Amino acid sequence: MATTSCCVPSTSTTCSSSFSLRVKRNSNSLSFMGSLSFSSNANSLSAGFVSLSIKQNRPRNNSLQVRSVAAPSEAVAGFDEMVSGTQRKYYMLGGKGGVGKTSCAASLAVKFANSGHPTLVVSTDPAHSLSDSFAQDLTGGQLVPVEGPDCPLFALEINPEKAREEFRSVTQKNGGTGMKDLMDGMGLGMLVEQLGELKLGELLDTPPPGLDEAIAISKVIQFLESQEYSMFTRIVFDTAPTGHTLRLLSLPDFLDASIGKILKLRQKITSATSAIKSVFGQEETREDASDKLERLRERMVKVRELFRDKDSTEFVIVTIPTVMAVSESSRLSASLKKENVPVKRLIVNQLLPPSASDCKFCAMKRKDQMRALDVIQGDPELSSLTMIQAPLVDVEIRGVPALKFLGDIVWK
């Protein structure tokens, strides 16, 4: 099969238990597409597995190298493995800002939906770009149907600032009833009594650290408990850049700290108003509230377990082929490992496609990218992940057809 298209990756290294190759020939190289089994441990092979090391017929700094190993059954497979089964699975895509997390997450969601899975794609990044990616207004903090895919695909942009605004406005009217409804809606109803006596309007003007995460967390709890979300068999998270993601993942620790802060604050206020305290029967309320908070903490522990369950959850790191992005990805991988979050795949996005006639700029750029790929292969954190190489495409990835195009390249 011949190709000259720049938009098609010269080398696609994905994984599956099968070992089928499509070979393409262009003017000066052979390239391989399809379900190549790949392991970044390809250098050291265990008995019984076959390895291929294929180098394209181009100068060193102009070549993409494919190393492929027939994967053992328990190792990472390709999209076949991601799509199989009707039990709910969670995919979280994260990495440095601007590397293509949203594009990859949205393309995965489209691919799941086109493969028969009712899918939800959620953005927990305060600087959302899902709407831009789908070319559709998905703002509003509600489930919004995405038009185009075969199966239902819904998107949800969690907007912490907007939620905080709503939160503040309802605390200022209806004597707190509106606030109760809102907090119930966020899965935090049990905190209402606890917080009821605090001046929430003031509190929200100077929000305690972690409030944004609390809102995101409450949405995650909804996924687990609400009927509205029960139809989804695949949930894809487009996460915020690294730091936020890690905070989101350490839910119970975060909650412990936040609840601690809330209780401390409450204590301060109640002791400062000790005269009023007796009127409101503080002691009884406190005990009751602690029980509720403890129950909430237990739910959080369940969420944590789920997010660390290698059968249902996978964190996919997205990076670009620059040494800076690779370094950050390595740190992210180390932190996720420490948190026991399953990570198997690394997408190296925006690789320059092959060209028979590189200009000086492209040749330099390609050389840099090859250096970054070498860094990945020598990195103790990243070299054990399955690398998916995704090309820089020459169209803007916007709208479902473009996302399908990208998804068919990346997810195989």
Ligand X SMILES: Nc1ncnc2c1ncn2[C@@H]1O[C@H](COP(=O)(O)OP(=O)(O)OP(=O)(O)O)[C@@H](O)[C@H]1O
| Phi, psi for residue 16 in degrees, rounded to 5 | -165, 170
Assess contact for 104 and 410: CB atoms under 8 A.
Answer: yes
- The Cα–Cα gap between 4 and 396 comes to 19
> Which residues are 52's β-sheet partners?
68
- Our finding on whether 121 is near ligand X (CB under 6 A) is no
Assess contact for 148 and 402: CB atoms under 8 A.
Answer: no
**Between 16 and 350, whose beta carbon lies closer to ligand X?**
350
Q: Tell me the Cα Rg of the chain.
A: 24
Among 99, 188, 236, 400, binds ligand X (CB under 6 A): 99
Q: Which of 125, 212, 238, 379 is catalytic?
A: 125
CB of 403 to ligand X, least distance (A): 10
Among 251, 332, 390, 403, binds ligand X (CB under 6 A): 390
- Our finding on whether 393 is near ligand X (CB under 6 A) is yes
Contacts for 377 with CB less than 8 Å, ≥ 6 apart: 40, 383
**Between 101 and 299, whose beta carbon lies closer to ligand X?**
101
Assess contact for 128 and 159: CB atoms under 8 A.
Answer: yes
**Between 171 and 319, whose beta carbon lies closer to ligand X?**
319
**Between 303 and 358, whose beta carbon lies closer to ligand X?**
358
CB of 34 to ligand X, least distance (A): 19
Among 125, 212, 379, 381, binds ligand X (CB under 6 A): 125
Q: Which residues in 190-249 contact ligand X (CB under 6 A)?
A: 241
Q: Which residues in 323-362 contact ligand X (CB under 6 A)?
A: 349-350
CB of 410 to ligand X, least distance (A): 8
- Our finding on whether 100 is near ligand X (CB under 6 A) is yes
Is 125 an active-site residue?
A: yes
Among 51, 129, 131, 312, binds ligand X (CB under 6 A): 129
- The Cα–Cα gap between 111 and 162 comes to 30
Q: What is the end-to-end Cα distance of the chain in Å, rounded?
A: 19
- Our finding on whether 66 is near ligand X (CB under 6 A) is no
Cα dihedral sign for 241, 242, 243, 244? positive
- Our finding on whether 59 is near ligand X (CB under 6 A) is no
> Which residues are 110's β-sheet partners?
none
| Phi, psi for residue 350 in degrees, rounded to 5 | 70, 35
Residues annotated as catalytic (active site), given as ranges:
125
Task: Provide the binding-site residues for ligand X, judged by CB under 6 A.
Answer: 97-103, 125, 127, 129, 241, 349-350, 390, 392-393, 396-397
